[in-house]
Amino acid sequence: MQGDFAAVTAHERPDRTAAGPAGDGRAAASRTRRAVGTLLGCLTALPHFLYFLLVGAALGPFLLWPYTRADALRFIMGGARALARLERTRRTVFFHDRFPEHYTASDRKVLRYLAVRAYTGLLCAVVTGLLGFGAVLAVLLARGVLRGSLGWDELVTQLLLGGVLLFLDLQGLHSLAALDARTARGCFGPSEAELLRRRIDQLAESRAAVVDAVDAERRRIERDLHDGVQQRLVALAMLLGRARRQRDPERADALLRQAHEESQGVLTELREVAWRVYPSALDSLGLREALDGVAERCAVPVRTEYLVDGALPRAVETAAYFVVSESLTNAAKHAAATAVSVRVALRGGTLAVRVEDDGRGGADPAGGGLSGLRSRVAALDGSLRIDSPLGGPTTVTAELPCG
């Protein structure tokens, strides 16, 4: 969210320069550059006004006729977007504004921006002209004072009037410059309101994804307990019942040995279910050791590369663990893979998890396990990509922000 807002900032933040001559020089250069950009904006406003006046008058009748409206509008928008690109370049060069590279404004936004730009630019030119005219009058007033041809009462009156007009001119230039920056921000990048709406939609989707992921986890746990642990417990109870009813000591001893082996299997499967619910090794050992445990239990050889220094947020560790665990399970059960590589690396505040196998591919991103992973990752504002062409290989990549 903060990165999106920073990307669409259309006005230059005040330069925080160091104190001293170097800082003063940079601040003066910045003010000069912005002043030149403002004056250039006054000059470019005239072509905008003439474009609306001449092209609008020439093509206005064609806009009223349905059969020529599309071609006329296409011609108008071609020139309008060219003028808008020039304005975007001016804002970038002289004001150091930063706009999204792949954002395309709608036709209505472009036309509205050029109309406002023509008005503010011409008005800025008028205010600048009045400021220059006031400077000439100030020179004449100073000359009159030096010659002694101006009385004190007239001098005070002229100074008060000139001060008020100077304040109004400077305030007008400041307001017009702010309006110019605000309209550019609205045209060349999504507005803050639009970004807020997008963020609300993302949060609503993430909340729904979290609810779906929790329900899916509950169903999976119930299925594992019912189809796995419960069935083995039933088999264990049957073995114990047969051993108790058995009158032959040797046969009863054999049944007890089978029951003991079955109990060990039940404990192993119950431990597997508990690990799939939440791996306790994350709390006691950390992500690296937990992933090593997953790799050891996998039926396919796994090569693990862990490039993380320091601690990670608990939610990020949990999501990364489940991404690797689910990917290894799919590679062993469904992909017929013979080797899997796992790479976990921290890059610029984002944990990148990459799992690649040499299986037959064709994984369905909409499947239960992978869709649950996507919901888990999306809940952390992360992204999950699955590349699994037929014939393989299958690559699962997750990016999890750690901020």
Distance CA(344)–CA(353), nearest Å, equals 5
Sequential DSSP letters for 182-245? HHHHHHHS--HHHHHHHHHHHHHHHHHHHHHHHHHHHHHHHHHIIIIIHHHHHHHHHHHHHHHH
What is the per-residue pLDDT for 335? 78
Average pLDDT for 254-258: 83
d(CA 252, CA 254): 5
Mean residue pLDDT of the chain comes to 80
Which residue range forms the structural domain that includes residue 251?
Answer: 215-277
Q: Which amino acid is at 184?
A: A
Distance CA 398, CA 370 (A): 11
Min mean pLDDT across 59-68, 199-208, 281-290, 366-375 is at 366-375
CB–CB of 273/225 below 8 Å?
A: yes
Question: What is the domain count for the chain?
Answer: 3
CA 276/CA 283 separation, integer angstroms? 14
Domain end call among 277, 299, 330 = 277
Q: What is the pLDDT of residue 344?
A: 92
Q: Which of 238, 255, 277 is the last residue of a domain?
A: 277
Burial class (CB in 10 A: 0-12, 13-18, 19+), 229: middle
pTM: 0.48
Asked if pLDDT for residue 20 goes beyond 70, the answer is no
Asked if residue 266 and residue 168 are part of one domain, the reply reads no
Task: Let me know whether 318 and 226 are in one domain.
Answer: no
Whether residue 358 lies inside any domain: the answer is: yes
Residues 27 and 164 in one domain: yes
Distance of alpha carbon 176 from alpha carbon 172, whole angstroms: 6
Q: What is 272-337 written as a DSSP string?
A: HHHHHH--THHHHT-HHHHHHHHHHH-SS-EEEEEE--S---HHHHHHHHHHHHHHHHHHHHTS--
**What span, in angstroms and rounded, lies between the C-alpha atoms of 371 and 364?**
9
Residue 164 belongs to a domain? yes
b/e sequence 380-390, b meaning 16+ C-beta within 10 Å: bebebebebee
pLDDT the model gives residue 191: 59
Q: Closest Cα to residue 191, out of 3, 12, 9?
A: 9
Q: Is residue 226 part of a domain?
A: yes
Residues 163 and 237 in one domain: no
Least confident of 189-198, 223-232, 307-316: 189-198
Q: Tell me the per-residue pLDDT of 349-393, one tens digit each, with 9 for 90 and over.
A: 889 999 998 888 887 776 656 777 787 788 788 888 888 888 878
Are the beta carbons of 63 and 72 closer than 8 angstroms? yes
- Do both 147 and 36 map to the same domain? yes
Q: What is the CATH number of the domain that holds 309?
A: 3.30.565.10
Note the pLDDT tens digit of each residue in 321-355. 888 888 888 888 877 888 899 999 988 888 999 99
* Cα gap 357→341, rounded to integer Å: 6
Burial class (CB in 10 A: 0-12, 13-18, 19+), 53: exposed
Q: Which of 33-47, 102-116, 262-276 has the lowest mean pLDDT?
A: 262-276
238 with 165, same domain: the answer is no
Place of tokens 């045209």: 187
The answer to whether the beta carbons of residues 170 and 134 sit under 8 Å apart is no
Q: How far apart are the first and last CA of the chain?
A: 12
Token pair for 295: 């790799």
Element at 21 (helix H, strand E): helix 21-64
Query: Is residue 206 exposed (0-12), middle (13-18) or buried (19+ Cβ within 10 Å)?
Result: middle
What percent of the chain is predicted at pLDDT more than 70?
Answer: 86
pLDDT of 2 reads: 36
Are 264 and 290 within one domain?
no
Which of the four pLDDT bands, split at 50, 70 and 90, describes residue 14? very low
Specify whether 36 is located in the same domain as 169. Answer: yes
Helix ranges (H only) for 334-393 are 368-378
Check residue 322 and give its pLDDT.
86
In terms of pLDDT, which residue wins out, 215 or 162?
Answer: 162
